[in-house]
């Protein structure tokens, strides 16, 4: 319990550090048209309890904007969802939580507050039980290649480029659900999932043949933001202001504890071999946010080992 509380406190402090430069963007915002109060969250986010809970919390903290109905978008790939956000004529999706990169921050409006305190950049492997011996004793990226271990990722996920630029073989598909089938069919050996999401993934797929590999931890700067279309600034401002208020009144810390505290403990991060990867695809601001968060989280993991 002590280690979990320490990590939650750390994430809360990191959120406060990021808060100051963001505040100026919301001070002059006017409320949106009350008649337009239904927002569609990308279906993968809607189906994720922590992501949906944080969107709801941000809306609850901004009652002056009016009531909100939060809905589930049609099922679509991450790349398609981001294209729909860019399209001002589309009403299929209004909000998506995804990992950041330069292109996404250029095309869309990012609410630059990492929703999980940076945990998305800490990744573990979902593997089949029979493949577990292949991972024994790995201490470097070169070991992955020597053992023919491939990693499965989404075609449009920024992680795919990060893994490849670090010399890791990656197998992709546009649909998240299909990646589990590919794992079953020996298309790759590791489905790399964020510390903040992997327990929910396994609960959702409910396959006893899947197991979380116990020894490896991939670490790289990868802030996870809410994104909206540039034409949808009312929603962006409301999300940002709501998250700021949640940080200041302590409810964001409660949120982190509720949804991510268990993952910190159950995944035994302090006992894992850390493989540090470079991420050259972030904007300068997000690189600073992600790098600072990653360094602090790595320091916390190191202290858990002592």
Cα-Cα-Cα-Cα dihedral sign, residues 49, 50, 52, 53: positive
Q: What pLDDT score was predicted for residue 31? A: 36
Q: Which of 43-47, 108-112, 203-207, 288-292 has the lowest mean pLDDT?
A: 288-292
Q: CA–CA distance from 204 to each of 50, 146, 197, 208 (Å)? A: 14, 32, 11, 12
Q: What pLDDT score was predicted for residue 26? A: 33
**Cβ(286)–Cβ(121) below 8 Å:** no
pLDDT bin (cut points 50, 70, 90) of residue 36 is: low
**Cβ(96)–Cβ(226) below 8 Å:** yes
pLDDT at 196 over 90: no
- Which helix (H) or strand (E) segment holds residue 86: the answer is helix 78-86
Q: What pLDDT score was predicted for residue 148? A: 96
Whole-prediction pTM value? 0.76
Q: What pLDDT score was predicted for residue 17? A: 44
Structure tokens at 134: 């292949």
Q: Which domains does the chain have, with CATH numbers?
A: 2-118+224-268 (3.40.190.10), 119-219 (3.40.190.10)
Question: What would the pLDDT profile of 127-183 be if each residue is shown by its tens digit?
Answer: 999 999 999 999 999 999 999 999 999 998 999 999 999 999 999 999 999 999 999
Give 223's contacts (C-beta < 8 A, 6+ positions apart). Answer: 99, 100, 112, 114, 118, 120, 121, 282, 286, 289, 290, 293
Give 102's contacts (C-beta < 8 A, 6+ positions apart). Answer: 281, 282, 283
DSSP assignment, residue 95? B
Q: What pLDDT score was predicted for residue 304? A: 53
Question: What would the pLDDT profile of 225-262 be if each residue is shown by its tens digit?
Answer: 999 999 999 999 999 999 999 999 999 989 988 988 77
- Helices 2-23 and 233-249 pack at an angle, to 10 degrees, of 130
């Amino acid at each position: 319990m002590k280690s979990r509380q320490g990590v939650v406190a750390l994430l809360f402090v990191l959120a406060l550090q990021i808060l100051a430069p963001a505040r100026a963007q919301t001070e002059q915002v006017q409320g949106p048209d009350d008649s337009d109060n239904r927002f569609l969250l990308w279906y993968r986010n809607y189906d994720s309890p922590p992501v949906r809970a944080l969107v709801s919390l941000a809306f609850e903290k901004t009652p002056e904007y009016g009531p909100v109905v939060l809905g589930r978008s049609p099922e679509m790939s991450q790349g398609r969802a981001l294209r729909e956000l860019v399209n001002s004529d589309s009403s299929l999706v209004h909000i998506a939580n995804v990992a950041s990169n330069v292109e996404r921050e250029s095309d869309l409006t990012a609410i630059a507050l990492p929703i999980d305190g940076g945990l998305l950049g800490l990744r573990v492997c979902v593997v089949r039980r029979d493949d577990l011996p292949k991972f024994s004793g790995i201490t470097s990226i070169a070991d992955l290649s020597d053992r023919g271990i491939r990693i499965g990722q989404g075609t449009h996920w920024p992680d795919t480029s990060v893994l490849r630029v670090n010399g890791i073989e990656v197998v992709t598909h546009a649909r998240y659900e299909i990646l589990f089938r590919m794992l079953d069919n020996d298309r790759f050996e590791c489905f790399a999932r964020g510390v903040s999401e992997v327990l929910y993934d396994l609960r959702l797929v409910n396959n006893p043949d899947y197991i979380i590999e116990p020894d490896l931890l991939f670490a790289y700067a990868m802030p996870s933001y809410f994104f909206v279309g540039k034409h949808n600034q009312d929603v962006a401002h409301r999300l940002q202001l709501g998250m700021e208020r949640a940080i200041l009144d302590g409810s964001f810390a409660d949120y982190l504890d509720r949804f991510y505290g268990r993952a910190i403990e159950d995944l035994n991060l302090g006992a894992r071999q850390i493989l540090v990867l470079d991420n050259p695809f972030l904007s300068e601001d997000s690189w600073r946010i992600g790098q600072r968060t990653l360094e602090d989280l790595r320091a916390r993991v190191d202290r858990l080992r002592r």
